[in-house]
Amino acid sequence: MPLRQGIVSIDKLRCDAGEVCDIAIKIYHGAYDEDEKIEAYLKFDTSYYVAATEVKMISHNEVLASFKIPDYLPSSSEAIYPSLLVSTEADGAIILPRALSLAQDSVTRADLGVALWSIKEKPELFAKDYFAYPYRNILVETLRCLYYHVPMWFSMMLLFGISAWHSLMILLRKEWNRSDRVYAMNAVGLLLGILGIITGMVWAHNAWGKFWSWDIKQTTSAICLFMYAAYFFLYAGVRDEMQKIRLTSAYNLFCFAMMIPLLFLIPRMMDSLHPGNGGNPAFAQDDLDNTMRLVFYPAVVGYMLLSYWIAQVYYRVIRLHRATLDR
Amino acid sequence: MNWTRQWILIKYDFLLDFRHRFSIGSVVLYAVFSVFLCLIGYQDPELEAWNLLYWILLSFSAVIWSINVYAKETAEHRLYYFQLVRPQELWLAKWISGTAFLMIIAAMLCLSLMALSYDPVVDWPRQIAAMALSALALAAILSFTSAIGSLSDSPAVVSSIISLPLILPVLLLGQYLTGVAMDLRDPSAYMQYMMYLAAITVISSGAAIVLINFVWKN
């Protein structure tokens, strides 16, 4: 499944009002013909546009757009950050949000700026209707890792949540026979967590350049896995059965209580490269379109059910083992 | 919660620690000796390395302290306490005395690192606040994990294994906070990180207060 077209990068970071701004634009999966009519716009807010005076094709995936920036900007701020749009009849429009900064010396003539940026006919922009994955900056082709990495973490959370519930029932209602379920859920949950971290590392290597960047989400996820790995050492370190069940259940609940702020609260409030944390938008809201959602949502449900089934089978193995030993 | 009983327990805990001051002092000696050992080979550490050394040595000293917290108590002791006081009151007393002791360890580590290398701290109020809050957080977590570990077959090993991952978030935040005091990190996020550390302390102590009941009933 190919990715849609997208704007990879531009060579300008800043232009000034009243000047001519030549921007070289690199396009992902660009396939422009020499005689194709390419249009480019700078768009600010929802209704202010500046059309490019000239768009020249440098290569099949690079164009040079020339903009005459009006003398005033449609805002009383010293700088605005318009989006860049490139549009063709064949492939539709592609956008780079907050592409560059436009600065102005005078901030008192926003009214003139509004008049200069309002064009008589809004450009007819459309997204080409075909089956392709969305283009996302930085991620690009690695977007496909989403199908593996995220469902594994969802499944891990489900299994750890179920095991915390069983631990609670053990402690509150003294239902001691639930301890084997806790063990099985934690074992399969830990396996899924390790696989989730490995797939995340592969994704990070391709998207961020390094397997491990000490990103806060990576770090806190590893800490959570260490915590649950220590559960098995505690399990092995207590011989008395009732004592083992009580202590491991209490420790399991403590780990679950610590995992919630570690995985969900702290990464969201710190600087992070990870989507959904550190001020980055969460993935599924704006970064997916319905092409990926068609596979992603069933994948999440499928992994959750599969992992629960595996944990159930492992629980039955533990029970059989215990029954064999008791004979 | 009987506050009179709680206050008596806290005083009693401090008194017991003072009576066993040689075993408590061994942890202080371990901390100072570790500083000496590290600086033999790395006599003039860079600022980042100084910060890191401080936190590594503090975490290992804290884990060694936690192994000793319940080590002196036998099953008879526990039965005696169980008849007199509630498990939460016992844990709270350990938490408070643990905080005080970990502050002493942190101060000794800081002073010995400064004496044997140099003084990197620029903002002492921030450094002391970071040390105090991290001692509170470490004591909350370690007093609970050592309660669990002390009931296992090999308390030393189990206590250290289960406590090390749980104190990692405190180390993560603490090294940032002391980094600010040493002019290594951006100070604008200092209060935010202090609030995260306080949140971790509250969550771990809340979970410990609820769960210590189940751990202690033998």
In this structure, the answer to whether residues A148 and A100 fall within a common structural domain is no
Q: Kindly state whether residues A166 and A64 are assigned to the same domain.
A: no
Q: Answer whether residue A124 is part of any domain.
A: no
Q: Which residues of A touch B (CB under 8 A)?
A: 171, 219-220, 223, 226-227, 229-231, 233-234, 237-239, 243, 246-247, 249-251, 253-255, 257-258, 260-262, 265-266, 269
pLDDT at position B27 is 87
Stronger pLDDT, B41 or A269, i.e. the higher one: B41
Residue B7 C-alpha, separation from nearest chain A C-alpha, in angstroms: 26
Q: Does A258 sit within 8 Å of B204, measured CB to CB?
A: yes
Domain positions in chain B:
3-216
We report the CATH number of the domain holding residue A60 as 2.60.40.10
Assess if residue A126 is contained within a domain: no
The answer to whether the Cβ–Cβ distance between A261 and B154 falls below 8 Å is no
Q: How far is A272 from chain B (nearest CA, A)?
A: 14
Q: Is A129 inside any structural domain?
A: no
DSSP H or E stretch at residue A57: strand A54-59
Amino acid A192: pLDDT: 96
pTM: 0.80
Q: Which residues of A touch B169 (CB under 8 A)?
A: 220, 223, 258, 262, 266
pLDDT in tens, A50-92: 888 888 888 888 899 999 998 888 888 888 899 999 888 877 8
A276 pLDDT more than 70:
no
Q: Do A234 and B199 touch (CB under 8 A)?
A: no
Nearest to A183 by CA among A195, A202, A205, A166: A166
Lowest mean pLDDT across A21-25, A32-36, B87-91 = A32-36
> What is the pLDDT at residue B102?
94
Domain termination site, one of A80, A101, A117: A117
Q: Are strands A14-16 and A62-68 parallel, antiparallel or unpaired?
A: unpaired
Q: Taking 70 as the threshold, does the pLDDT of residue A289 lie above it? A: no
Is residue A123 in a domain? no
* A155 and A269 inside one domain: yes
Q: Is A127 a member of any domain?
A: no
Q: Specify whether A113 is located in the same domain as A174.
A: no
pLDDT category, A279, cuts 50, 70, 90? Answer: low
- The alpha-carbon gap from A247 to the nearest alpha carbon of chain B, in Å, equals 6
Please tell me the distance from the alpha carbon of residue B5 to that of residue B88, in angstroms, as a whole number.
Answer: 12
pLDDT value at position B209?
93
Residues A161 and A304 in one domain: yes
- Per-state percent for chain B, helix, strand, coil, to nearest 5: 85, 0, 15
Flag the least confident range among A2-16, A62-76, A122-136, A160-174. Answer: A122-136
Tokens of A29: 């999966």
Is residue A128 in a domain?
Answer: no
**Could you write out the DSSP letters of every residue in A244-278?**
HHHHHHHHHHHHHHHHHIIIIIHHHHS--SSTTST
Dihedral angle computed from the Cα positions of residues A225, A232, A234 and B161, in that order, rounded to the nearest 10 degrees = -40
The distance of B137 to chain A (nearest Cα, Å) reads 12
Last residue of a domain, one of A85, A117, A149: A117
Residue B160 contacts residue B67 (beta carbons within 8 Å)? yes
Using a CB-CB cut-off of 8 Å, the residues of chain A touching B164 are 226, 230
Question: Would A130 be classed as within a structural domain?
Answer: no
Determine which of A94-103, A318-327, B20-29 has the lowest per-residue pLDDT on average.
B20-29
Number of domains, chain A: 2
Are A182 and A91 in a shared domain? no
Residues A104 and A234 grouped into a single domain: no
Using an 8 Å CB-CB cutoff, list chain A residues near B162. 230-231, 233-234, 251
Q: What is the pLDDT of residues A141-172, one digit of tens each?
A: 778 888 899 999 999 999 999 999 999 999 99
Amino acid at A71: D
Give pLDDT, residue A278: 60
- List, for residues A292-302, the tens digit of each pLDDT value: 788 889 999 99
Interface pTM (ipTM) of the complex?
0.83
Q: Judge whether A136 lies within some domain.
A: no
Domain closes at, from A117, A151, A167: A117
pLDDT at B170: 94
Query: Which range marks the domain in which residue A293 is found?
Result: 141-326
